Structure 1
Amino acid sequence: MEITAAQYERIAPVLPIQRGNVKLSNLQVLNAILYVAEQGCQWRGLPARFGNWHTVYTRMNRWSKNGVIDRVFEHLQREQIVRIKLEAVAMDSTIVKSIGKSRGGWSTKIHMVAADARTAITFSLSPGQAHDAPEGRKLLTRLGPQRPGLSLLMDRAYEGNETRQLALALGFMPVVPPLSTRVHPWAYDREIYQRRNQIERLFRRPKGFSRIFSRFEKLDVLFLGFISFALILDALR
Structure 2
Amino acid sequence: MELTAQQFKTIEHLLPIPRGNVKISNLQVLNAILYVAEHGCKWRGLPKRFGRWHSIYMRANRWAKQGVLDRVFLALQENDVINIQVDHVSLDSTVVKVHPDGTGAFKKNGSQSIGKSRGGWTTKIHMVAASHNSAVTFSLSPGQVGDAPEGRKLLKTLENCGWEGTKVIMDKAYEGDETRQLVFDLGMEPVVPPKSNRLSVWEYDREIYKKRNEVERLFRRLKGFRRIFSRFDKLDVIFKFFIHFAL
Same fold (TM over 0.5): yes
CA separation in 2, counterparts of 1:81 and 1:119?
11
Deviation, 1:20, is 7.6
- CA distance 1:228–1:83, shift in 2 (3 Å): closer
Bigger proportion of residues as helix: 1
Pairing partner for 1:156 from 167, 172, 178: 172
Q: Is the 8 A contact 1:110 1:124 kept in 2?
A: yes
- CA distance 1:166–1:224, shift in 2 (3 Å): same
Q: Is the 8 A contact 2:33 2:60 kept in 1?
A: yes
Deviation, 1:184, is 0.5
Q: Percent same amino acid among aligned pairs?
A: 63
Pairing partner for 2:146 from 126, 131, 134: 131
- CA distance 1:144–1:3, shift in 2 (3 Å): same
Deviation, 1:80, is 4.3
1:90 maps to what in 2? 90
Deviation, 1:148, is 1.8
Per-residue CA distance 1:26-76 (angstroms, 9 max, x = gap): 000001111111111111111222111111111111111111101111122
Q: Is the 8 A contact 2:97 2:231 kept in 1?
A: yes
TM-score, with length taken from structure 1: 0.92
Q: Is the 8 A contact 1:133 1:158 kept in 2?
A: yes
Aligned residue pair count: 231
Within 5 A, what are the aligned runs for 1:1-237?
1-18=1-18, 22-80=22-80, 83=83, 85-100=85-100, 102=103, 103=112, 104-105=114-115, 106-145=121-160, 146-231=162-247
- CA distance 1:227–1:8, shift in 2 (3 Å): same
CA-atom RMSD, angstroms?
1.7
Q: Is the 8 A contact 1:80 1:119 kept in 2?
A: no
TM-score, with length taken from structure 2: 0.89
Match of 1:143, SS state, is: coil
Match of 2:223, SS state, is: helix
In structure 1, the gaps of 5 or more residues are 232-237
Match of 2:41, SS state, is: coil
